[in-house]
Amino acid sequence: MTTVTVSSDGGVLTLSDGTRTARFHAIWLRDNAWDAQTRSPGNGQRLITLADIPKDTRIATAAMSGAMLRLSFAPDGKTVEFDPAWLLDRSYDRAQDRRPGWTSPGIETWDAGLTHAVPTGDFASVSADPLALCHWLGGVARYGFGKLLGGPVEDGALMRVVDLFGYVRETNYGRHFEVRTTVNPTNLAYTGLGLQAHTDNPYRDPVPTIQVLYCLESSAAGGENMVVDGFRAAERLREESPAGFDLLTQHCARFEYAGEAGVVLRSRRPMIELAPDGELVAVRFNNRSAAAITDVSFDKMEGYYAAYRRFGEIIDDPAMEVTFRLNPGECFVVDNTRVLHARKGYSGTGTRWLQGCYADKDGLLSRLAALSVREAAE
């Protein structure tokens, strides 16, 4: 039984479906109307601006009409209808204060315990079956990474992975880059050195939000890949040292890369980034490209460095890492705003050849959302 009441001044509507109750302001309701004069029926885009809505908008009448809530507004007499469930799903009449570092309900943080439950897809299946793709992308969205097995062993095959969910983000490294040992490397990635767990390109703003690393040759000893959930690492830091967590979230670090001619990339962003309401939205961590930190005051710098050190120790803790070896035709996809990746050193006989590229997470999430809608409808 849906009930609706309006405050005496017409400013606030209270809606209840028997289970959920929420208050909505007149201006919010008018702005979020879905009639054909407010929103384009074809593409859903809003046709008016806030300036088109009278400043003193208030609710004149409100009543259920069948399953729909019918409202009229003063002073302009505008009439609109809402699905009460749509409104209650968008209730803002609730406590909004959460502890800094909270994560979206759509994600789950993890440590080494995920080793035997890594989101894994089969290249042929996810390419042919939207349901398989939806499940695999859902895992990538939830855990921030996923593996894809059984792909072709051919130059450029990683582009077929990107085609599954989005578009390549081209950079100074090209549309894709070759990860193998080279002489006079412009980047330490192109050596046999082990690399501490890191996010890629923190000196870019925005950073590439997705990375694909695709294996074409893998006969050298060593070179295993590791991934670490930067969000779990941030949560651990917050538990151990709330003050240290605050230092890393409330100050900008700096990153720089100028390892090739004509390129001077610099950024100023926090190592642990929160939305203004405290949601954990990104981690940037990369010893190779960390530049001098100058945005922390003298009296806080020692504490900042202690937190930075501890954050690195947590990231280096084997209890945090999922390790695997990619074979030719296998790849992994990481959310580069969240999951750090690393590789063990390699050398000696044999070869190790990966191809990497960047793409964007919004495209991946869009594809997932569209596939999920389709799933739900079937």
Contacts (CB under 8 A) with a copy of itself, residues 233-272: 249-252, 256-270
Q: How far is the CB of 86 from a copy of itself (least distance, A)?
A: 9
Q: Which is nearer to a copy of itself, 66 or 298 (CB)?
A: 298
Closest to 221 (Cα-Cα) out of 355, 315, 347, 52: 347
Sign of CA dihedral 371, 174, 340, 120: positive
Tell me whether residue 62 or residue 168 sits nearer to a copy of itself (CB atom): 168
Contact flag: residue 83 with a copy of itself (CB under 8 A): no
Looking at residues 36 to 75 of the shown chain, list those that interact with a copy of itself (rule: CB under 8 A): 40, 42-51, 55
* Tokens coding 31: 């702005």
Q: How far is the CB of 167 from a copy of itself (least distance, A)?
A: 4
Task: Report the residue number, 19 or 184, with the smaller CB distance to a copy of itself.
Answer: 184
SS3 34: coil
Q: Are 340 and 227 in contact (CB under 8 A)?
A: yes
**Rounded CA gap, 356 and 374, in Å?**
31
Nearer to a copy of itself, 181 or 187 (CB): 187
What's the sign of the alpha-carbon dihedral 148, 150, 153, 155? negative
Choose between 23 and 120: whose C-beta lies nearer to a copy of itself: 23
78 versus 204: smaller Cβ distance to a copy of itself: 204
Tell me the pairing of strands 145-149 and 120-122.
Answer: parallel
Which CB, 211 or 218, lies closer to a copy of itself?
Answer: 211
Per rule CB under 8 A, count of chain residues that contact a copy of itself: 98
The values of phi and psi at residue 211, to 5°, are: -125, 140
Residues with Cβ within 8 Å of 348's Cβ and at least 6 positions away in sequence, in order, are 220, 221
Cα–Cα distance between 72 and 77 in angstroms, integer? Answer: 6
Answer yes or no whether residue 160 interacts with a copy of itself by CB under 8 A.
no
Pairing between β-strand 272-274 and β-strand 280-283 as defined by DSSP bridges: antiparallel
Token pair recorded at residue 339: 């999951």
Tell me: does residue 196 bind a copy of itself (CB under 8 A): yes
Which residues, 105 to 124, sit near a copy of itself by CB under 8 A?
Answer: none
Judged by DSSP in three states, 178 sits in strand
318 binds a copy of itself (CB under 8 A): no
**Least separation, in Å, of the C-beta of 331 and a copy of itself?**
20
State the nearest-atom distance from the C-beta of 33 to a copy of itself, in Å.
11
From 64-72, 197-205, 216-224, 234-242, give the range in contact with a copy of itself by CB under 8 A: 197-205
By CB under 8 A, the residues from 173 to 192 that bind a copy of itself are 184-188
Residue 21 in the binding site for a copy of itself (CB under 8 A): no
Q: Among 155, 239, 302, 375, which residue interacts with a copy of itself (rule: CB under 8 A)?
A: 302
102: contact with a copy of itself by CB under 8 A: no
Long-range contacts of 156-161 (CB under 8 A, 24+ apart): 156/355, 157/214, 157/216, 157/329, 157/355, 158/212, 158/213, 158/214, 158/331, 158/355, 158/356, 158/357, 159/357, 160/127, 161/123, 161/212, 161/214, 161/331, 161/333
Closer to a copy of itself at the Cβ: 46 or 70? 46
In terms of CB distance, is 70 or 268 closer to a copy of itself? 268
Min dist CB 320 to a copy of itself, Å, is 14
The answer to whether residue 290 forms part of the interface with a copy of itself (CB under 8 A) is yes
